[in-house]
Amino acid sequence: MAGREACIFAGGNRLAKIIFEQNATEEKEMTIGESWELGEGYNVIANSISAKDTGGRQAWITLFKDANKLVDTVMAQYGPNKFFTYQMNLSDGTPNFMIYYSRVDSLRYTDAAYFKYTWLRSQKSLPVLKKVISSASWKLHMLKTIPLNSEIKNRLN
């Protein structure tokens, strides 16, 4: 696996590829009906955004995988619904998708919602390490990620 991975602890330590990750300074603006492509067939659609509602400044979003709806949620600018996590496989104990509802603004012709700290991991995972028997000694294969390539090193235990 090249790139960044997330560790999953159910059924043995495993790694899953991080498909999408926003850093601390990135913010995504979405308007009603907009689709946000996250990678590997995943996308988020902003169904409705309300910047002027006195009952709460809310955004209704839907997460899709290959055009199939996985989940939809209504997020609020204030309170516990600012942060949303979705776990596709309940047995592995690690969220697949996380998103933070930063703020909402009323633009000239529509409302816009702003999202931060969005994170999405792959459903596919690999074991963290493998042991190989060779000449009655154990060899541990360690994967060291280097920009633009990867190299495998062997170390005797």
Which pLDDT tens digit goes with each residue over 57-106? 899 999 999 999 999 999 988 877 888 888 876 566 667 888 999 989 88
Domain presence at residue 111: yes
Domain presence at residue 115: yes
Domain presence at residue 34: yes
Range of the domain at 62: 5-127
Domain presence at residue 143: no
CA 43 to chain centre: 11
Residues 80 and 50: their CA atoms lie apart, in Å, by: 17
Predicted TM-score (pTM) of this structure: 0.71
The total number of structural domains that make up the chain: 1
Task: Report CA-CA distances (Å) from 142 to 40, 61, 123, 155.
Answer: 27, 40, 23, 8
Q: Which residues contact 37 (CB under 8 A, 6 or more apart)?
A: 43
Residue of 1 and 18 predicted with greater confidence: 18
Q: Which tokens belong to 61?
A: 């979003």
- Asked whether residue 113 carries a pLDDT value surpassing 50, the answer given is yes
Task: Report CA-CA distances (Å) from 62 to 24, 44, 67, 94.
Answer: 23, 6, 11, 20
Domain presence at residue 51: yes
User: How confident is the model at residue 156, as a pLDDT?
Assistant: 44
pLDDT band at 12; cut points 50, 70, 90: low
- Asked whether residue 145 carries a pLDDT value surpassing 60, the answer given is no
